């Protein structure tokens, strides 16, 4: 049996997508948006992503998607987990289109180095299957995501499912499984993992 695995979601966990996404959306619709409108769009996307798919694919093919910067504390957390003996992996809802996959892989490589053993892109499908496959055979496994629905999918697939609190998903906070562990920031993850 292998020892420890930590699986990351990418957007708003490892890479900061918010500002580039909002800027691209405003360009796409030809006007500025308010913070409340952005929150409403996120909620509507979660309810039914179909009206937003053209924009989502344009954004994922854009240069901005391949050059996202790290979330605060992400670079140090990844380094600390690797130093503590964790194998690291990625499960993201981004498209599995080869161009997008390579753009995301290269972005992570540029920011974090060659530390992620596996990259799974689910193209908005459930993350549960990828997590079950990745976490099988590990004595300890952890998964972190900023979206409560993805954290709920990880219950039973990963040993510990962590919700990284994100105000953009406060509207679905009450759907979070009581079995999930909540982290207010990436700094909390060290305590959760015992490092």
Domain containing residue 167: CATH number: 3.40.50.1000
Tell me, yes or no, whether 62 and 73 share the same domain.
Answer: no
Those residues whose C-beta lies under 8 Å from the C-beta of residue 5, and which sit 6 or more positions away, are 86, 87, 88, 89, 134, 135, 138, 140, 141, 142
Same domain, 7 and 96: yes
Q: How far apart are the first and last CA of the chain?
A: 21
- Convert the pLDDT of each residue in 43-82 to its tens digit: 999 889 999 999 999 999 999 999 999 999 999 999 999 9
Whether 184 and 172 map to the same domain: the answer is yes
Q: Which domain holds residue 46?
A: 18-66
Domain count, the chain: 2
Do 97 and 158 belong together in one domain? yes
Same domain, 105 and 182: yes
Stated pTM of the model: 0.94
Q: Does one domain contain both 29 and 40?
A: yes
Render pLDDT for 129-147 as a digit per residue (tens, 0 to 9): 999 999 999 999 999 999 9
């Amino acid at each position: 049996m292998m020892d420890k695995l930590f699986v990351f979601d990418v957007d708003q966990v490892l890479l900061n997508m918010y500002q580039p996404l909002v800027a691209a959306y405003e360009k796409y619709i030809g006007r500025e948006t308010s913070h409340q409108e952005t929150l409403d769009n996120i909620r509507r996307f979660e309810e039914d992503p179909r009206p937003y798919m053209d924009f989502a694919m344009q954004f994922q093919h854009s240069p901005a998607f391949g050059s996202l910067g790290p979330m605060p504390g992400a670079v140090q957390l990844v380094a600390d987990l690797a130093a503590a003996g964790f194998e690291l992996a990625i499960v993201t809802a981004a498209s599995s289109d080869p161009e997008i996959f390579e753009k995301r892989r290269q972005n992570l490589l540029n920011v974090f180095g060659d530390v992620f053993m596996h990259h799974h892109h689910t193209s908005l499908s459930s993350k549960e299957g990828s997590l079950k496959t990745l976490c099988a055979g590990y004595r300890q496994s952890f998964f972190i995501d900023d979206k409560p629905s993805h954290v709920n999918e990880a219950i039973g697939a990963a040993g510990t499912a962590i919700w990284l609190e994100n105000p953009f998903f406060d509207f679905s906070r009450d759907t979070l499984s009581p079995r999930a562990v909540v982290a207010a920031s990436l700094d909390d993850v060290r305590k959760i993992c015992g490092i």
